[in-house]
Amino acid sequence: MTAEWWLTYLITTIILSLSPGSGAINTMTTAISHGYNKTFASIAGLQAGLVVHIVLVGVGLGTLFSHSVIAFEILKWAGAAYLIWLGIQQWRAAGSIELNAHSHSQPRSKLFKRAVLVNLTNPKSIVFLAALFPQFINPAAPQVMQYVILGTTTVVVDIIVMMGYATLATRIAVWIKEPHQIKALNRLFGSLFVLVAALLASARHA
């Protein structure tokens, strides 16, 4: 893989990570509800799910989701249902949040597992990677190291972008102090979860 090809992939994955999706919404809600420090557990969970997708693509299982309508549909509807559930939970969240105190309400392990599921149940992610990786893999060269390079690039970029979303969310939280403002914000993010679920459910197998 040449430096030019890697740079092209880097730009592509930056654009992908910057596109607001379920991962970004999950990161921002975690930052606002539980504080910036606990967001690292959530971001780590997102990356764990992403690594699973990268490994699946590397061993060829990504092709299954690219070509199997049934596998794609099962994962799609499971992901949509999970996002709707998260949206309902966010919508029903308490109307008052004291970030410093509330940050202890959920253990990091729970936030980690929640984020893992957010990424694992997104079929568009694995299908995208399955379609994208081959474009940057040189079949004449050892492929394992190429997958490692592309996968590492994807994860590092996503970590940086998610940290940016977390920082943005904590800046917003500074201005949100009244109970009715917190309730409105919770309902906004709850609605965004449901919206992303609807977009995911409307996705069609290529």
Q: Per-domain residue ranges for the chain?
A: 24-94+102-201
Contacts of residue 71, defined as CB under 8 A and 6 or more positions apart, other chains included, come to 64, 65
State pTM to two decimals.
0.72
In sequence order, what DSSP letters do the residues of 109-176 get, joined into one string?
HHHHHHHHHHHHT-HHHHHHHHHHHHHH--TTS-HHHHHHHHHHHHHHHHHHHHHHHHHHHHHHHHT-
Instruction: Give pLDDT, residue 40.
Output: 94
Instruction: Give pLDDT, residue 42.
Output: 94
Instruction: Give pLDDT, residue 132.
Output: 74
pLDDT along the chain (206 residues), means of 10: 80 78 85 86 94 84 62 68 70 52 67 90 75 74 84 94 90 66 65 69 60
Instruction: Give pLDDT, residue 71.
Output: 65
Instruction: Give pLDDT, residue 98.
Output: 44
Instruction: Give pLDDT, residue 59.
Output: 77
Instruction: Give pLDDT, residue 107.
Output: 84
Size of the chain in residues: 206
Chain centroid to Cα 167, Å, comes to: 16
